Amino acid sequence: MEHEQLAGRETPNVSVIIPRDTLHKFNSFGFKHLKPALFPLPFRYMAALWHRGKMPPIDAYFGPGYYVFTRFVTMPLLFSESAVVIYDLSFELYRQYSDEGNARFLSKGTSKSIRQVNTVFTISENAKREIHEIYSVPNKEIIVATPAADQRYFYRRSPEEIASVKAKYGIKNNYILALSNLEPRKNLDTLVDAYCALPQSYRKHTSLLLVGVSGWKTDKLFQKIIERVKQGYDIIRPLEYVSDQDKPAIISGAQMLVYPSHYEGFGMPPLEALACGTPVITSDNSSLPEVIGKSGTMLDCMDTKGFTKTMQHYLDNIDSLARKAAIEGPAQAQNFSWEASAQRYWNIIMEKAS
């Protein structure tokens, strides 16, 4: 493998295998140290071959090396070593909240892939424990490399920026923020019920803002929201898709972020809220205690009354809790580093590629 000098250290050149019709999108990210390796077929054909188990060995085309497969399952190799990245095991542990077709594919593909690799990367200590217990992967073969909230980007935004972004998305009141895909695992049904149980004097000045794309199995949730809105409850969604550029201001402008998820592989929205100094309430399950530490309040995900009581307490004490969150949140977020996680990847890659 070729090497180059980077910041005084020798690092391997890394190529990202992409379908030939995605080159423009890849280049738009402006990667400095990643190079594209073009698969000769467009995405739809590459995906079709992969899902049908008819993908030819990719190292026969791209050459021997150390291959890291970043989305749960591997592709065929002839003479190369590989690793796989597993973000969570929701498709095994909480299948009732997953798209059934995707869950079947991941369950079968992940189990097969783990037998083909000698390293598994994952994103939390909780996910590591689950991978070890469910697939019997030795702990020494599971490497935890967490995500992080880049605090050059996720930080408390000014009142002027917050006001501008609120106006852009048609947000008029103060708001409690839910930031996630709209899917059953995120447990937004419980949050809607908890919000609607707040006394009217609190809801009069505070909306429930749902930010996130629609996922699967959402009919029940949307029907509940429609009924509650008809009854006068102030549950809103932005007028348009919230851009990444505007997300820190949306988070900064919230009275609090409430995240009652049934299960997470990591939990990026709570971490981003901590980095922005926004008070956080989450569930107490899976990886969320790792993310939150002592910088938020955690509850049983099905404790609707507990969420109502805690949100009311936060609203009653919002000034002092906001000051506390502005100090403790960013400090907790600093415990997670993209650089440290990248180094863990590099260490394995260098070891295997040498």
**Token digits of residue 143:** 């490497």
Angle subtended by helix axes 304-316 and 188-196, to nearest 10? 60
**Confidence grade of residue 164 (pLDDT, cut at 50, 70, 90):** very high
What does the pLDDT average to over 2-15?
A: 61
Asked if residues 22 and 43 have their Cβ atoms less than 8 Å apart, the reply is yes
What does the pLDDT average to over 92-121?
A: 91
Residues 6+ apart with CB under 8 A from 10: 3, 4
What end-to-end distance do the CA atoms of the chain give, in Å? 8
pLDDT, tens digit (0-9, with 9 covering 90-100), for 284-310: 999 999 999 999 999 999 999 999 999
pLDDT at 1 over 50: no
What does the pLDDT average to over 84-88?
A: 96
pLDDT, tens digit (0-9, with 9 covering 90-100), for 59-74: 999 999 889 999 899 9
- Write the DSSP assignment of 202-261 as a string of letters: HHTTEEEEEES-B-SS-HHHHHHHHHHHHTT--EE--SSPPPTTTHHHHHHT-SEEEE--
pLDDT of residue 52: 84
pLDDT, tens digit (0-9, with 9 covering 90-100), for 176-235: 999 998 889 999 999 999 999 999 999 999 999 999 988 778 888 889 999 999 999 999
Which helix (H) or strand (E) segment holds residue 113: the answer is helix 100-116
Residues 6+ apart with CB under 8 A from 232: none
pLDDT of residue 231: 95
pLDDT of residue 350: 82
What is the Cα–Cα distance from 148 to 158, expressed in whole angstroms? 22
**Confidence grade of residue 33 (pLDDT, cut at 50, 70, 90):** confident
Question: Domains along the chain?
Answer: 3-148+338-353 (3.40.50), 159-333 (3.40.50.2000)
Q: Are strands 66-69 and 9-12 parallel, antiparallel or unpaired?
A: unpaired
What is the Cα–Cα distance from 135 to 164, expressed in whole angstroms? 49
What does the pLDDT average to over 244-264?
A: 97
What does the pLDDT average to over 98-106?
A: 87
Asked if residues 187 and 204 have their Cβ atoms less than 8 Å apart, the reply is no
Lowest mean pLDDT among 12-21, 80-89, 141-150, 239-248: 12-21
pLDDT of residue 113: 93
pLDDT of residue 7: 52
By residue count, the chain amounts to 354
Q: Which residue has the higher pLDDT, 30 or 352?
A: 30
Percent of the chain with pLDDT strictly greater than 70: 96
| C-beta atoms surrounding 145 within 10 Å | 19
pTM score of the predicted model: 0.91
114 beta partners: none
What does the pLDDT average to over 263-275?
A: 97
pLDDT at 2 over 50: no
pLDDT at 255 over 70: yes
**Confidence grade of residue 12 (pLDDT, cut at 50, 70, 90):** low
pLDDT of residue 100: 85
Asked if residues 277 and 329 have their Cβ atoms less than 8 Å apart, the reply is yes
pLDDT of residue 236: 94
Lowest mean pLDDT among 9-13, 43-47, 58-62, 238-242: 9-13
pLDDT of residue 8: 54
**Token digits of residue 186:** 């995120």
Asked if residues 109 and 72 have their Cβ atoms less than 8 Å apart, the reply is yes
Residue-averaged pLDDT of the chain: 92
